[in-house]
């Protein structure tokens, strides 16, 4: 497994790791993957325009913040990074680190540095045991989807993991893994969202001769929120325990079509306010289709709960769908189109006060179109346009944002 880092820090929601075409990160991230057994420095520059940077409802909301009626801003990013790939016998070591200086034209209060680091050891022991041990670090500005103040809301995420699998029969594999995640915010007002998560996973897979896999997956997550959140005058600790029993299927329908399914029963119990507990079906289904060697299509649909770390709430029940397509127009030019729709319901975590208020229920829509040009194998240029909207089910709010970004990166 190679740890891939986009050239700029981003906080994405969970997506299918097997997607043929990215359906969740919009526009598609610029992934730096070095040649085998090489150390590859790289540098990049991007300039972007956003018509509504803070994701405000209108110019009146901007005036209320004291920033005038103009919602837009232009951003410049200066990137420096290093990617490492090394193979020692059957052991594969990879690492990727980068730093990005981010400057805003109007809202200079938001100027900051994005920092990313990831390292992975893909280990092998004989012909039947293998796995990964690694860690990652990411520090950057929290997206403004649910945070609309002109404040530098820096978020730091640290991950450490270890997993392994045992092929105890040509058709059967058992696997397990441990993951630790720590999330921390710099702003004092956001510190109730700081949390530590420990995740344990165990799975059993049947490996068909066709290349398809059918498995059962068990997962337990314990989350601790050390700083209580004020809910209607009461201090509430947002920690929880979550248990999952899911089927995991990767089905090769043909040489051109693959289906991926992960779904089953999920139970979440809060440390406080049991009215916010959840139990029910979570599922995600995606399909990859390659009608020709130059065209790839991915379509996804999901119904699942997800931690909403950017809000004063624990989670939302998300229902959505996405469609993405990539066309390799020529050896050097690729076109990528992406569409995503997601409905978020905060009712299950509403409780008795402000946490998870149903007035936060919304619909998010994103559309992106990108042109990727590779003049050489080491040089990449990407031009992207994106439109994002939020519509609240009830109450004031929501936003419309249109943006365009020109990005270039060179690997030495």
| Secondary structure, 3-state, 102-150 | EEECCCHHHCEEEEEEEEEEEEEECCCEEEEEEEEEEEEECCCCCCCCC
Name, in order, each residue with C-beta under 8 angstroms of 106's C-beta and a sequence gap of 6 or more.
Answer: 70, 72, 73, 74
CA–CA distance, 149 with 409 (Å, rounded to integer): 31
In a domain? residue 16:
no
CA–CA distance, 137 with 181 (Å, rounded to integer): 10
In a domain? residue 32:
no
CA–CA distance, 55 with 397 (Å, rounded to integer): 10
ω into 27 cis (within 30 of 0): yes
Torsions phi, psi for 185 (to 5 deg) = -110, 145
Question: Do you know the residue count of the chain?
Answer: 412
In a domain? residue 243:
yes
In a domain? residue 188:
yes
Q: Are 385 and 306 in contact (CB under 8 A)?
A: no
Torsions phi, psi for 193 (to 5 deg) = -90, -10
**Cβ count within 10 A of residue 162:** 16
Burial-class residue 29 by CB neighbours within 10 Å (0-12, 13-18, 19+): middle
Q: Are 236 and 225 in contact (CB under 8 A)?
A: no
CA–CA distance, 367 with 26 (Å, rounded to integer): 8
pLDDT of residue 224: 93
Q: Are 113 and 103 in contact (CB under 8 A)?
A: no
pLDDT of residue 17: 52
The CB-based long-range contact list for 160-166 (8 Å cut-off, 24+ gap) reads 160/134, 160/135, 161/132, 161/133, 161/134, 161/135, 162/131, 162/132, 162/133, 163/131, 163/132, 163/133, 163/201, 164/123, 164/129, 164/130, 164/131, 164/132, 165/129, 165/130, 165/131, 166/128, 166/129
pLDDT of residue 24: 79
pLDDT of residue 146: 77
Burial-class residue 66 by CB neighbours within 10 Å (0-12, 13-18, 19+): exposed
**Cβ count within 10 A of residue 406:** 13
The DSSP code for 181 is E
pLDDT of residue 8: 39
In a domain? residue 354:
no
Name, in order, each residue with C-beta under 8 angstroms of 58's C-beta and a sequence gap of 6 or more.
Answer: none
Name, in order, each residue with C-beta under 8 angstroms of 309's C-beta and a sequence gap of 6 or more.
Answer: 155, 183, 193, 195
Largest CA distance in the chain: 67
Could you say which residues of the chain have pLDDT below 70? 1-18, 307-314, 348-359
In a domain? residue 11:
no
CA–CA distance, 118 with 312 (Å, rounded to integer): 29
Place of tokens 């229902």: 319
Which domain, by its residues, includes 262?
38-348+359-411
Pick the closest to residue 57 from 400, 360, 402, 403 (CA basis). Answer: 400
Give the CATH number, domain containing residue 332.
2.40.160.100
Number of domains composing the chain: 1
In a domain? residue 8:
no
In a domain? residue 13:
no
pLDDT of residue 29: 81
pLDDT of residue 351: 54
CA–CA distance, 361 with 347 (Å, rounded to integer): 8
Residues in a beta bridge with 317: 305, 345
Q: Are 306 and 318 in contact (CB under 8 A)?
A: yes
């Amino acid at each position: 497994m190679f740890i891939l880092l986009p050239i700029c820090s981003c906080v994405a929601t969970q997506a299918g790791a097997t997607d043929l075409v990215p359906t969740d990160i919009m526009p598609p991230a610029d992934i730096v993957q070095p040649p085998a057994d090489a150390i590859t420095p790289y540098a990049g520059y991007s300039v972007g325009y956003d018509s509504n940077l803070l994701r405000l409802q209108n110019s009146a909301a901007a005036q209320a913040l004291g920033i005038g009626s103009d919602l837009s801003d232009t951003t410049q990013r200066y990137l420096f990074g290093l990617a490492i790939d090394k193979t020692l016998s059957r052991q594969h070591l990879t690492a990727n680190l980068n730093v990005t200086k981010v400057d805003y034209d109007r809202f200079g209060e938001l100027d900051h540095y994005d920092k990313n680091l990831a390292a992975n050891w893909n280990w092998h022991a004989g012909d039947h045991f293998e796995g990964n041990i690694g860690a990652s670090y990411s520090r950057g500005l929290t997206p403004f989807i649910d945070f609309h103040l002109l404040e530098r809301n820096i978020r730091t995420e640290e991950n450490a993991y270890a997993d392994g699998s045992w092929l105890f029969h040509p058709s059967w594999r058992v696997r397990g893994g441990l993951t630790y995640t720590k999330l921390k915010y710099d702003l004092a007002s956001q510190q109730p969202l700081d949390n530590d998560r420990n995740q344990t996973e165990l799975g059993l897979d049947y490996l068909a001769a066709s290349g398809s896999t059918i498995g059962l997956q068990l997962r337990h997550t314990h989350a601790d929120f050390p700083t209580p959140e004020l809910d209607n005058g009461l201090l509430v600790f947002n920690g929880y325990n979550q248990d999952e029993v899911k089927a995991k299927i990767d089905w090769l329908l043909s040489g051109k079509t693959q289906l991926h399914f992960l779904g089953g029963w999920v139970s979440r119990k809060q440390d406080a306010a049991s009215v916010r507990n959840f139990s029910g079906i979570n599922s995600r289904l995606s399909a990859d289709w390659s009608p020709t060697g130059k065209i790839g299509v991915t379509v996804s649909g999901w119904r699942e709960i997800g931690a909403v770390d950017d809000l004063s709430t624990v989670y939302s029940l998300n229902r959505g769908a996405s469609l993405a397509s990539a066309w390799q127009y020529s050896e050097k030019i690729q076109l990528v189109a992406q569409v995503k729709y997601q409905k978020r319901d905060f009712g299950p975590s509403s409780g008795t006060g402000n946490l998870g208020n149903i007035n936060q229920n919304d619909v998010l829509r994103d559309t992106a179109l990108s042109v990727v040009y590779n003049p050489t194998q080491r040089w990449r240029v990407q031009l992207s346009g994106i439109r994002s909207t939020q519509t609240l089910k009830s109450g004031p709010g929501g936003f419309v944002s249109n943006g365009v970004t020109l990005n270039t990166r060179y690997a030495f």
